[in-house]
């Protein structure tokens, strides 16, 4: 049973992952090196250890040689925001790339191949807000499209008619939060659906009814609940316990559930979840931008 956050072990795990580039796991995830960098670096900052890595460079594909896509563009922008190096970006170029992906109905494609998903709406809005270029897109239409993905249970799906899923809910609620449109959310209906994600056996959260709990939902469900001010509807202590139980106490890293292998993705979500639960020693993370609060405040407030 884990009774504390073994922060030092997680830091070591992340730094070692940087070095194990030729393992099979690493090669198979070559295409998302950019995301991995964001997850790893943000976790380090939350644990106050960002000084332990040197500056990162990278394009807006998942890795060099790969094709561009908004998913990796967001991670790139978030990484630069962490290091306060947004000035090295060609903001015009990046924001035009993203703005160019907005469709007539307000939705966003992920790249030139046209896949539409509310994840991309969130990514576009989050990214452009950080770059202070939100006026480059039609915000009203973007919001209208997101609202059209609202379901009868109060949640949101990938596209209109798609079922509610915690990941999409985070994206839609986050996008609405960043654009000041949370009044479109039925906070009571959605808040209740979200608080019912908590599993009575393990204390963890699942992503939709009848599914197994998973640490990554500690972020997606929790941040959504916080943005709509309904987080007091879950049992926080039990959730903390679940996340701590998912740690690898010996080698560091956090996994999706206590039995599975660890990875950077879940390490980030576990620590971010603990941040939202006000675990001592972890810096506060912003629930909408998924970056530390001090970073967001620095960027968005004038003085």
Partner 1 sequence: MHGRERNEASKPEETAAKALELRSLQSQFMSNHHQKIYTQEAIQLSAKLLGINPEAYTAWNYRKLALESRIDEDSDPSLVDSIIDEELRVVQNALKRNPKSYGAWYHRKWVLSKKGHYYSSLEKELQLLNDYQKQCLVNDYQKQDDPKKQDNARNFHAWNYRRFVVELTETSEEDELQYTNMINDICFSIYSAWHYRSVLVSSLVAKNADGFMPKETIRRELDYVHNAIFTDELGQSGWFYYLWLLDQTLKMETPLRFSSWPSDGSIITTFCSESGSFPLILYFDQAVSGVSSSTVTIDSELKANEDLVWEPVSDNKNSQVDSCVWVAHLKFDSRGPCFSRKENKVKVSLGGIVSSMGCNLSTPYEFVFTVLHTVGESSQQGIVSWTDGFNNWDDAQSKDLNSFIALNADAGFEWRKEAIKIEIDHLRNLPDSKFGKLILARLLMAEETMISDDAVKGFHYTEILQLYNDLIALDSWHAQYYKDEHSVALLHKVTSSTESMFRHLFRYRNMNNIVCLRLNNLTLSRIAAVEKLLFVQMLDLSNNELHSAEGLEAMQLLCCLNLSHNRIMSFSALDSLRHLKQLRVLDVSHNLIGGEHPVDTTRYLCSSPLSNSGEVGREVPCKYWDAYLVLRDLMKLKQLDIRGNDLIFSGEEFSSFVRQVVPKLVWLDGHKLTN
Using CB under 8 A as the binding rule, the residues of this chain from 24 to 53 that contact partner 1 are 24-32
Q: If you search the block for the tokens 């915690």, which residue do you land on?
A: 166
Nearer to partner 1, 1 or 301 (CB): 301
Q: Taking the chain, what is the end-to-end CA distance rounded to the nearest angstrom? A: 45
Q: Does 18 bind partner 1 (CB under 8 A)?
A: no
Of 10, 17, 47, 62, the one binding partner 1 by CB under 8 A: 62
Of the pair 52, 257, the CB lying nearest partner 1 is at: 257
Where does this chain touch partner 1 (CB under 8 A) — which range of 7-15, 20-28, 51-59, 83-91?
Answer: 20-28
Could you say which residues in the range 168-227 bind partner 1, by CB under 8 A? Answer: 177-180, 182-183, 191-193, 195-196, 198, 200, 208-212, 214, 226-227
Q: How many residues bind partner 1 (CB under 8 A)?
A: 86
Residue 159 Cα to chain centre, angstroms: 19
H/E element, 218? helix 216-227
* Rounded CA separation 7/42 (Å): 13
- DSSP-derived 3-state class of residue 168: helix
Counting other chains too, the contacts that 163-166 makes at CB distance below 8 Å and 24 or more residues apart are: 163/208, 164/193, 164/208, 165/207, 165/208, 166/194, 166/197, 166/205, 166/206, 166/207, 166/208, 166/217, 166/220, 166/221, 166/224
Q: Which residues 136-175 are close enough to bind partner 1 by CB under 8 A?
A: 151-153, 157-159, 161-165
Which of 41/198 has CB closer to partner 1? 198
Closest contact distance (angstroms) between CB of 88 and partner 1 is 23
**CB 149, CB 159: distance < 8 Å:** yes
Residues 79-98 contacting partner 1, CB under 8 A:
none
302 contacts partner 1 (rule: CB under 8 A): yes
Least Å distance, CB 60 to partner 1, is: 13
CA distance linking residue 142 with residue 18, whole number of Å:
37
What's the min distance (Å) between Cβ of 287 and partner 1?
Answer: 7
Question: Least separation, in Å, of the C-beta of 55 and partner 1?
Answer: 26
CA–CA gap between residue 79 and residue 81 (Å, rounded): 5
What gap in Å lies between CA 280 and CA 258, rounded to an integer? 22
Residue in 74, 77, 101, 234 binding partner 1, rule: CB under 8 A: 234
Binding of residue 19 to partner 1 (CB under 8 A): no
- Binding mask 107-136 toward partner 1 (x if CB under 8 A, else -) reads ----x-xxx-------------x----x--
């Amino acid at each position: 049973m884990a009774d504390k956050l073994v922060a030092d072990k997680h830091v070591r795990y992340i730094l070692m992952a940087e070095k194990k580039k030729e393992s099979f796991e690493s090669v198979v995830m070559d295409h998302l090196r950019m995301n991995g960098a964001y997850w790893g670096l943000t976790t380090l900052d939350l644990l106050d250890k960002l000084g332990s890595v040197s500056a990162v460079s990278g394009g807006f594909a998942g890795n060099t040689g790969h094709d561009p896509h908004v998913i990796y563009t967001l991670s790139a922008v978030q990484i630069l925001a962490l290091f306060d190096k947004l000035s090295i970006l060609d903001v015009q170029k990046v924001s035009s790339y993203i703005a160019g992906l907005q469709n007539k109905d307000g939705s966003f494609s992920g790249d030139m191949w046209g896949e539409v998903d509310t994840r991309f709406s969130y990514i576009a809005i989050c990214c452009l807000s950080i770059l202070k270029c939100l006026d480059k897109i039609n915000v009203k239409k973007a919001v209208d499209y997101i609202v059209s993905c609202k379901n009868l249970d109060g949640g949101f799906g990938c596209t209109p008619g798609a079922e509610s899923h915690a990941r999409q809910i985070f994206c839609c609620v986050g996008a609405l939060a960043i654009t000041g449109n949370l009044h479109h959310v039925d906070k009571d209906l959605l808040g209740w659906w979200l608080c019912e994600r908590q599993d009575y056996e393990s204390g963890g959260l699942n992503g939709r009814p009848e599914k197994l709990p998973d640490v990554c939902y500690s972020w997606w469900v929790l941040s959504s609940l916080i943005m709509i001010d309904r987080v007091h509807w879950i049992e926080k202590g039990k959730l903390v316990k679940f996340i701590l139980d998912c740690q690898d106490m010996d080698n560091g890293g956090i996994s999706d559930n206590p039995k599975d292998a660890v990875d950077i993705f879940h390490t980030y979500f576990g620590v971010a979840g603990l941040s939202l639960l006000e675990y001592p020693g972890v810096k506060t993370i912003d629930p909408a931008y998924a970056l530390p609060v001090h970073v967001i405040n620095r960027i968005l407030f004038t003085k």
